[in-house]
Amino acid sequence: MNAYKILVVTAVTAEAEAIRPGLDSDLIVVGAVGVGPAAAAAGTARLLATGNYRAVISAGIAGGFPGRAPVGGTVLATRSIAADLGAETPDGFLPVEELGFGSSVLECDPALVKALSEALPAALVGDVLTLSTVTGTQATADRLAARFPQAVAEAMEGYGVASAALGAGVPFAELRTISNPVGPRDRAAWRLADAFAALRAAAPALTTLL
């Protein structure tokens, strides 16, 4: 058996606790590192430094873009994109690439995406956006949907986890389940139970990566 482990990173403990019961191998380590890309990057880097890992998966719940990813659904990222990394200008948003300061787009490992897609055939595949501020208006949702036509979901940690994985030379993927539509903030309408049920159901697919 390959001694190298898989690291699954979540933002909060509730997400980690939804994933752990579906795993039957001590070669998959699940850790909650905090909310937002900075906490995700720092926490993932810390965990990567504690052992030998063959892959890193950012996992948890997310908002889904209406018409692209339904509430209760599961999505897999092809790319994790820092959608608010850049500069605001009178003519619109400039991504960090246009400022000459790096890239806001990190590719997920194709082999990991393929394996997870085969294990989760109903999962939707597309870009997952990382935002430090959760979308709460229709205007912002519309702008993001227009800027990122392949985006299926938004969350707050994927790009941070991906950055740490890239720095460590470890393949990365992102798996999300949908609790709410991206758009006007209506916390009472979020279907957290459905998203956590989907996360529990998706967890066994992670063992196919071993």
Q: Which residue ranges make up each domain of the chain? A: 5-209
Residue 1: what pLDDT?
35
Instruction: Give one DSSP letter per residue of 59-82, joined into a string.
Output: EEEEEE-TTTS-TT-EEEEEEEEE
Asked if 99 and 85 touch (Cβ cutoff 8 Å), the reply is no
Asked if 33 and 10 touch (Cβ cutoff 8 Å), the reply is yes
As a whole number of angstroms, the distance between CA 205 and CA 188 comes to 30
| Other Cβ atoms closer than 10 A to 159 | 29
Burial of 119 (0-12, 13-18, 19+ CB in 10 A): middle
* Terminal C-alpha separation, the chain: 9
Whole-prediction pTM: 0.94
Q: Are strands 151-155 and 92-95 parallel, antiparallel or unpaired?
A: unpaired
Instruction: Give the 3-state secondary structure of residue 131.
Output: coil
Residue 2: what pLDDT?
44
| Other Cβ atoms closer than 10 A to 179 | 23
As a whole number of angstroms, the distance between CA 149 and CA 133 comes to 20
- Which two three-digit tokens encode residue 18? 């939804």
pLDDT tens over the chain, length 210 residues: 345 899 999 999 999 999 999 998 899 999 999 999 999 999 999 999 998 999 999 999 999 999 999 999 999 999 999 999 999 889 888 888 888 898 999 999 999 999 999 999 999 999 999 999 999 999 999 999 999 999 999 999 999 999 999 999 999 999 999 999 999 998 888 999 999 999 999 999 999 999
For residues 122-151, one letter each, b for 16 or more C-beta atoms within 10 angstroms of the residue's C-beta and e for the rest, the string is: ebbbbbbbbbeeebeeeebbeebbeebeeb
As a whole number of angstroms, the distance between CA 75 and CA 195 comes to 11
- Give the orientation angle of helix 37-48 with respect to helix 158-168, to 10 degrees: 30
Residue 3: what pLDDT?
54
As a whole number of angstroms, the distance between CA 123 and CA 79 comes to 15
Would you say domain 5-209 falls under CATH 3.40.50.300? no
Instruction: Give one DSSP letter per residue of 15-31, joined into a string.
Output: HHHHHGGG---TTEEEE
Residue 189: what pLDDT?
84
